[in-house]
Amino acid sequence: MTSDTHLQRRNKEEVAYYDTLDHNMTTVLKSSPYEDVFGTNASCILGRAETIGPYYVEGELIRSNVTEDQVGIPMHLEMQFIDVNTCKPVPALFIDLWGANATGGYSGAEVPTGYFGLPVGGLNSTFLRGIQITDEHGVVSFDQIIPGHYYPRATHTHLVAWGNATTYANGTIAGGLAADDTFIRYIGQLYYEQKLRDAVDPIFPYNTNADTANIKNVDDYILAENATINGNTVGDLGEYDPFVKYIYLTNDLADGVFAWHTIGIDMNGNFNDGFVAAAKYEEDGGRALNEWGAGTVTPFKAVMPPKGTTTTVTTTATSA
């Protein structure tokens, strides 16, 4: 057995193990004070770093509600960031969050010509993207929807943690590595247990998603297969559980969930080399920075045909 094969097998086993744990705390947690959600002893487990993916956009807005006009199951998400060197919360981190809408489409990039694929909003769209700053408990919160899936990924949410970012009066931060003392302390992705995903799928508009493959968590090529992305090999999960915990807000999942997650980061780490942006959101709108932002790369199979239109294409590129 090769080393790579061993790593892939081990990581799939880890994902399968964590995915069998019950992350639905609805019958356990009846209220959500800070101590109940994150516990009095914060986790000191290093969160696994992962690829930034092709659709990061610089210069997004500092805001907690990123839903805009997107229809889906409401999700209030809280995340706590802990320095694994001190086991203490990290305040004043800028947490940049983005993800797909209910049917797998991203904002912030151009749609490839004649093709309805992953980017659906165009360069000037900003839905499901935003930035928040951690408080004294290392916590940020976002109001959004549960994301949808797209081929060939399991459902996920992207995160970047910026240290020492520059803020502007118009509610944005300096995009990218604008200053020599700006450091990315973490790049990663959040995941959602299979039981929750299976419960979400029949609910509108998730049930209109054209991605019929609907990749399972244990088959995701980043989460479970230790794939090499942009030259970086995703490591084993180890003690890190990548799935968010959550509670139903009512007896009906369609009414929404409250979700939370703790991520240990190394405040001495530097992920600047893993930074790449598809586009930049500026005062006069979005501007493409590479072929992904410009829509000249054809991603995998279309996952959000507008108004029920379906399109078949030949696929050539990988999306994360």
Percentage of the residues of the chain whose pLDDT score is greater than 70: 76
- What does residue 208 show for φ and ψ, rounded to 5 degrees? -105, 5
Say which residue the tokens 């405040």 belong to.
Answer: 267
- pLDDT, greater one: 31 or 281: 281
- For residue 313, the 8-state DSSP code is -
Above 50 in pLDDT, residue 139? Answer: yes
pTM comes to 0.84
Above 60 in pLDDT, residue 114? Answer: no
Pairing of strands 257-265, 245-248: antiparallel
Residue 124 region by backbone torsions, left for phi larger than 0, else alpha for psi between -120 and 50, else beta: alpha
The pLDDT-based confidence of 28 (bands split at 50, 70, 90) is low
Give the model's pLDDT for residue 191: 97
Which of these, 147, 192, 159, lies nearest to 93 by C-alpha position? 159
Say which residue the tokens 């210069």 belong to.
Answer: 59
Q: Please name the residues in contact with 35: beta carbons below 8 A apart, sequence gap of 6 or more.
A: none
Mean pLDDT of 51-66: 91
pLDDT in tens, 240-277: 899 999 999 999 999 999 999 999 999 888 888 888 89
Mean pLDDT of 66-82: 96
Mean pLDDT of 124-135: 95
In terms of average pLDDT, the best of 2-11, 16-25, 67-76, 265-274 is 67-76
In a 10 Å sphere around its CB, with 0-12 CB exposed, 13-18 middle and 19+ buried, how is residue 179 labelled? exposed
DSSP 146-215: ----BTTB-SEEEEEEEESPPB-TTSBB--SS-STT-EEEEEEEEE--HHHHHHHTTSTTGGG-S--S--
Mean pLDDT of 168-194: 76
The pLDDT-based confidence of 96 (bands split at 50, 70, 90) is very high
- pLDDT, greater one: 125 or 1: 125
Give the model's pLDDT for residue 10: 57
Q: Report yes or no: 132 and 314 within 8 Å, Cβ to Cβ.
A: no
Compute the distance between CA of residue 202 and CA of residue 189 in angstroms, rounded to an integer.
24
3-class SS at 142?
Answer: strand
